[in-house]
Amino acid sequence: MKIAFIGDIVGKPGRLMLKRHLKRVQQEHYIDFTIANYENASHGFGITEKNCIELLSYGIDMMTGGNHSFDKKEILDLFDKYPLIRPINYPKDIAGRGLYKTTILGKEVAVINLMGHYTMPMVDNPFTMIVQEVKKLKEKNIQHIIIDMHAEASSEKNALRQMLKEDVSAILGTHTHVGTDDLQIIDGCCYVTDVGLTGCRDGVIGMDDSVPIKRFLTSLGGHYDIPNQCKSLLQMIVFELDDNGCCIDAQKIKIYDDKPKIVTKAWID
């Protein structure tokens, strides 16, 4: 089976890039299932029901979140209506769930949303929790396990790779919006530290650059905004899993505005 994973979708520019390109890429690469991170989809902070429906109509099958999952309060009513999850290590009595199960080509697949510790909201320990979650899935003979690791620190993502590389199908980093050049297949696990944003590429992590620059120069903050017009980028990972849940091929796809796609193969260790 072939899975596509799209990192942080940032605002309208990110949504428009998916509208223009996603279905064509799905056809060209014979993609069976598409996952995307929604946490910045609605003007950079959270997701609205309108934008959720919009993104699903472009060909996304389910979506993961992160530290901005709850920025739009209407999401509390969306978890039961749409294929959305939030980090699994939020307290258990919070709305939503952190694990999504589906069947693709006759195989049961689990998608887990996990959030790191550094600079993030107070959540349960991601490392002790994920070990237990993966163990429970394996006991149910679920071999196809995909993790969105939403974290600031690359060391946390690297540590997760080393802990779980023999037990899960893919670990895909999100949150920093800056794509990393370390896509690899190691011991049958597809890994990248950060997929990178889909949205504006000529500001600061998808936002207009005026407020971030002011903050760096003066230590004074402001409201982050997304430009009405910008140069855009789509970034996604496409990986193939065998019947045992092992990754056998992976590639990074980038599209700048309406230019031809750039495809980079994973390094296989």
Interval 232-258 mean pLDDT = 98
Q: Give the SS3 label for residue 148.
A: strand
pLDDT at 126: 97
Q: Would the pLDDT of 242 be above 90?
A: yes
Predicted structure pTM score: 0.96
Residue 2, helix vs strand vs coil: strand
Structure tokens, 97:
């769930």
DSSP character at residue 77: G
Q: What is the DSSP letter of 219?
A: S
* All residues at 6 or more sequence positions from 106 whose CB lies less than 8 Å from its CB, including other chains: none
Q: Residue 16 has which token pair?
A: 């428009």
| pLDDT at 238 (0 to 100) | 98
Q: Write down the pLDDT at residue 247.
A: 98
Over the range 216-242, which residues count as b (16 or more CB within 10 Å of their CB) and which as e? eeeeeeeebebbeebebbbbbbbbbbe
Pick the CATH number of 2-268 from 3.60.21.10, 3.60.15.10, 3.40.640.10, 1.10.1060.10: 3.60.21.10
pLDDT for res 7: 96
Structure tokens at 180: 């990393």
Give the single-character DSSP code of 124: -
75 secondary structure, DSSP code = G
> CB of 146 within 8 A of CB of 122?
no
Q: Which amino acid is at 229?
A: Q
With bands split at pLDDT 50, 70 and 90, how would you rate the model's confidence at 221?
Answer: confident
Kindly report the average pLDDT of the chain as a whole number: 97
Calpha distance 52→250 (Å, rounded): 27
Looking at residue 209, what is its pLDDT?
93
* Candidate list 21, 68, 144, 150, residue with the active-site label: 68
Q: Among this protein's residues, is 68 annotated catalytic?
A: yes
pLDDT tens figures, 6-62: 999 999 999 999 999 999 999 999 999 999 999 999 999 999 999 999 999 999 999
Backbone angles phi and psi of 75, in degrees to 5: -65, -25
